[in-house]
A = this chain, B = another copy of it.
Amino acid sequence: MKLAFQKETLLNGINIVSKAIPSKTTMNILECILIDASSNEIRLTGNDMELGIETKVEGSILEKGKLALEAKIFSDIIRKLPDSDADVSITSDDRYNTTIECDNAIFKIQGRDPQEFSYLPFIEKNEYICISQFSLKEAVRQTIFSTAPNDSNKMMGGELVEVKDNILKVVSLDGHRISIRNILLKHNYENQKIIIPGKTLSEISKILSGDNEKEVQIYFSKNHILFEFEDTKVISRLIEGEYFKIDHMLSSDYKTHIKVNKKVFMDHIDRAMIMIRDNDRKPIILKIEENNVNMKIRSSFGSMNANVAAQKTGDDITIAFNPKFLLDALRVIDDEEADIYMMNPKSPCFIKDDAGNYIYLILPVNFIDED
């Protein structure tokens, strides 16, 4: 095989497929990137058996062939090549002895037999939906934090993706909170309900450009999902089973509603968290009276106390939360003001907008009000 590339083009392709390379594995071949130039185009592939990424890279095929190269050393070499206009050439012989050359730097490394490499599964392109790169990237950012990847319940490490007519709903939960985002699609689609591993979503969101004009096609099969955009394909296994039923938790009843300036509210929570270290997990207590939210936290390190103006309707209430959970949800709301709905100190609070774009449900925690 003999190929020639521009450094930046090749490096970009390597960076994309590297997102599917596992950092630790017992199967060495999974740590490799497959270079497939057996037809008239050059494709790079990374595949950890759960998640596979393939991308097309512009380059010249001087001699067709296939080759697997260990991803880390391949990426290190290309990244450190001179930023010159000179081509990067990659040559391999029939024993996969590989030479990478640019300007006068010559690297020789041992490649691997491409036959050992597992190809990505074939997905029939029947049912699909279309969404902008921006919307998908945002939906992941706005929900991924409430998955629980290390939980014994594998379902909590994934996100529910549900298509109903022209609405794409994304849900994640970790036992203490639920995050829901609804995205309006341009067309109506057949209904779908699948669970995607959180890792797939977080890796794909790193590759997506976030451009509102560029689209992603998403194809569904029984066990897999395929994302196609620009020159890249991302294929992931799905998590099998039935996702948690959450509808009965999403009551719209409330007894207290406050509207607060999001930034001011967040800054105080952030300050309160100074008092939390290691195992000393103390809640932040919100005492809502009239048009004021008194926020306080008390730990073995000391205490913080602050007041925030709020527009309140309904009853006064004193309720406590894990401050990190409040902060995680508020951080991904792009509105200037946050609407928080509460029922009583034992029932979840809801942070949601009127348009129904998002719902963040957070369970309160027990507290002892010392004052």
Residues of A within 8 A of B (CB): 70, 73, 76-77, 80-82, 104-110, 267-268, 270-271, 274-275, 301-307
When the two chains form their complex, are residues B302 and A106 in contact, meaning their CB atoms are under 8 A apart?
A: no
* Chain B neighbourhood of A270, CB < 8 A: 80
When the two chains form their complex, are residues A104 and B271 in contact, meaning their CB atoms are under 8 A apart?
A: no
* Chain B neighbourhood of A105, CB < 8 A: 268, 271, 304-306
**A300 and chain B: residue at smallest CB distance:** B110
When the two chains form their complex, are residues A106 and B304 in contact, meaning their CB atoms are under 8 A apart?
A: yes
**A105 and chain B: residue at smallest CB distance:** B306
CB A215 to nearest CB in B, in angstroms, measures 38
Other than the given A77-B271, A81-B271, 17 more pairs (CB < 8 A) read: A70-B301, A73-B274, A76-B274, A77-B274, A82-B267, A104-B306, A105-B304, A105-B306, A106-B304, A107-B271, A107-B274, A107-B304, A108-B304, A108-B305, A109-B301, A109-B303, A110-B302
* Chain B neighbourhood of A275, CB < 8 A: 73
**A79 and chain B: residue at smallest CB distance:** B274
CB A363 to nearest CB in B, in angstroms, measures 26
A–B pairs, 14, beta carbons within 8 Å: A73-B274, A77-B274, A80-B270, A80-B274, A104-B306, A105-B268, A105-B271, A106-B304, A106-B306, A107-B271, A107-B274, A109-B301, A109-B302, A109-B303
* Chain B neighbourhood of A303, CB < 8 A: 107-109
CB A269 to nearest CB in B, in angstroms, measures 11
**A305 and chain B: residue at smallest CB distance:** B106
CB A326 to nearest CB in B, in angstroms, measures 16
Q: CA of A197 to CA of B5 in the docked complex: distance in angstroms?
A: 50
Q: CA of A271 to CA of B105 in the docked complex: distance in angstroms?
A: 9
**A267 and chain B: residue at smallest CB distance:** B82
* Chain B neighbourhood of A76, CB < 8 A: 274
Given that A80-B274, A270-B80, A274-B80 are known contacts, is A73 also in contact with B302, CB under 8 Å in the complex? Answer: yes
Q: CA of A329 to CA of B299 in the docked complex: distance in angstroms?
A: 49
CB A111 to nearest CB in B, in angstroms, measures 10
* Chain B neighbourhood of A81, CB < 8 A: 271
Q: CA of A368 to CA of B35 in the docked complex: distance in angstroms?
A: 34
* Chain B neighbourhood of A108, CB < 8 A: 302-305
CB A77 to nearest CB in B, in angstroms, measures 6
* Chain B neighbourhood of A80, CB < 8 A: 267, 270-271, 274
* Chain B neighbourhood of A70, CB < 8 A: 301
**A73 and chain B: residue at smallest CB distance:** B301
Q: Which residue of B73, B107, B302 contacts A107 across the interface (Cβ within 8 Å)?
A: B302
CB A295 to nearest CB in B, in angstroms, measures 9
**A298 and chain B: residue at smallest CB distance:** B108
What 6 A-B pairs have minimum CB-CB distances, sorted nearest first? A109-B302, A76-B274, A105-B306, A106-B305, A108-B303, A80-B271
Q: CA of A80 to CA of B163 in the docked complex: distance in angstroms?
A: 42
Q: CA of A81 to CA of B301 in the docked complex: distance in angstroms?
A: 17
* Chain B neighbourhood of A271, CB < 8 A: 77, 80-81, 105, 107
